[in-house]
């Protein structure tokens, strides 16, 4: 992993992924961008993966851009180049969690500013500690959110709310973030809560979970017709498949299922 900016530990099908620059509150420098994108690539290619928990080490989830590092010419990346499918590198560090085949649960504490808030938003589910400080902060620096935020937020909050927070760059707390729809759950122990959710997901048919994520991603863009067709197609592949039959038998026999990947 690039300069150890991101760590990955996998157990029982769950990847524990941590932003690991605690001395800088996990602020985003070129090495962090590269490390996160590399983590997404590695996890995409990892067999047997069922869920991901994404968190930050130290006092914060992510304080956003390390402005000194980025202003110092730490990267000459062309932001117009689509280096990761539809995304550039900066967008991939947030968008990549949405396109990862398995669910991602973000455990957020301390600070989630700017790019850090966008990375958090890429997760399927977001658990935040009360008192966490949040901001769509880019306007403070005279720029706009460009790390996939707008593509991610359109399914979470009202348009006028997003506009107000973006235009003003004001800070808001975890309670407001949850009330507005950015956050799924508030928890005094967000990492433990995220791990509990991941464990519950890992206990379900992995084929069905991945299919459900594909459908949820499609629903953000497609009209009703393609969604209805996709539901039928996914269900057709699942019905009477080995893992689906194992789910049925385990429920009938009141035992823990044993799924294959």
194/215 same-domain check: no
Pairing of strands 51-56, 104-108: parallel
Query: What stretches of 45-143 show up as alpha helix (H) in DSSP?
Result: 67-71, 89-99, 115-121
Is residue 258 domain-resident? no
12-53 pLDDT, tens digit each: 999 999 999 999 999 999 999 999 999 999 999 999 999 999
**CATH number for position 42:** 3.90.226.10
The pLDDT of residue 78 is 82
- Contact yes or no for 178/190 (Cβ under 8 A): no
| Per-residue pLDDT at 75 | 54
pLDDT at 2 (0 to 100): 44
- Residue 10 inside a domain? The answer is yes
Considering only CA atoms, which of 158, 101, 113 is closest in space to residue 138? Answer: 113
Q: CATH number of the domain at 229, please.
A: 1.10.12.10
Same domain, 241 and 156: no
Residue 260 has pLDDT above 90, yes or no: yes
Give the tens place of pLDDT for each residue, 137-174. 999 999 999 999 999 999 999 999 999 999 999 999 99
Average pLDDT over residues 3-19: 95
Same domain, 197 and 232: no
Number of domains composing the chain: 2
pLDDT at 1: 41
- Domain shared by 182 and 218, yes or no: no
Q: Could you tell me if 212 and 235 lie in one domain?
A: yes
Q: Please indicate, yes or no, whether residues 172 and 96 belong to a single structural domain of this protein.
A: yes
Q: Is residue 259 part of a domain?
A: no
User: d(Cα 215, Cα 71) in Å, to the nearest integer?
Assistant: 40
The answer on 235 and 166 residing in a single domain is: no
pLDDT tens per residue, range 71-122: 655 556 688 888 888 899 999 999 999 999 999 999 999 999 999 999 999 9
Burial of 174 (0-12, 13-18, 19+ CB in 10 A): buried
Which range of residues forms the domain containing residue 237?
204-253
Domain for residue 105, yes or no?
yes
4-18 average pLDDT score: 97
């Amino acid at each position: 992993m690039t300069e150890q900016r991101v760590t990955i530990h996998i157990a029982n099908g769950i990847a524990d992924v941590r932003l690991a620059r605690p001395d800088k509150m996990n602020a985003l420098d070129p090495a962090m961008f590269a490390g996160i994108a590399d983590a997404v690539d590695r996890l995409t290619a990892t067999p047997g993966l069922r869920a991901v928990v994404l968190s930050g080490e130290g006092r914060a989830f992510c304080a956003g851009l390390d402005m000194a590092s980025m202003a110092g010419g730490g990267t000459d990346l062309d932001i117009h180049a689509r280096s990761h499918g539809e995304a550039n590198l900066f967008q991939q560090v947030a968008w990549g969690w949405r396109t990862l085949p398995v669910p991602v649960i973000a455990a957020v504490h301390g600070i989630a500013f700017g790019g850090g808030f966008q990375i958090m938003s890429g997760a399927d589910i977001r658990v935040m500690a009360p008192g966490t400080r949040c901001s769509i902060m880019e306007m403070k620096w005279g720029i706009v959110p460009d790390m996939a935020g707008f593509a991610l937020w359109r399914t979470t909050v009202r348009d006028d709310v997003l506009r107000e927070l973006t235009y003003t760059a004001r800070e808001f707390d975890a309670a407001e973030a949850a009330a507005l729809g950015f956050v799924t759950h508030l928890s005094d122990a967000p990492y433990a809560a995220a791990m509990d959710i991941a464990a519950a997901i890992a206990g379900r048919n992995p084929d069905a979970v991945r299919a459900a994520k594909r459908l949820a991603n499609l629903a953000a863009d497609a009209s009703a017709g393609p969604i209805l067709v996709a539901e039928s197609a996914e269900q057709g592949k699942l019905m009477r498949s080995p893992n689906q039959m194992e789910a049925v038998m385990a429920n009938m026999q009141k035992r823990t299922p044993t799924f294959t990947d």
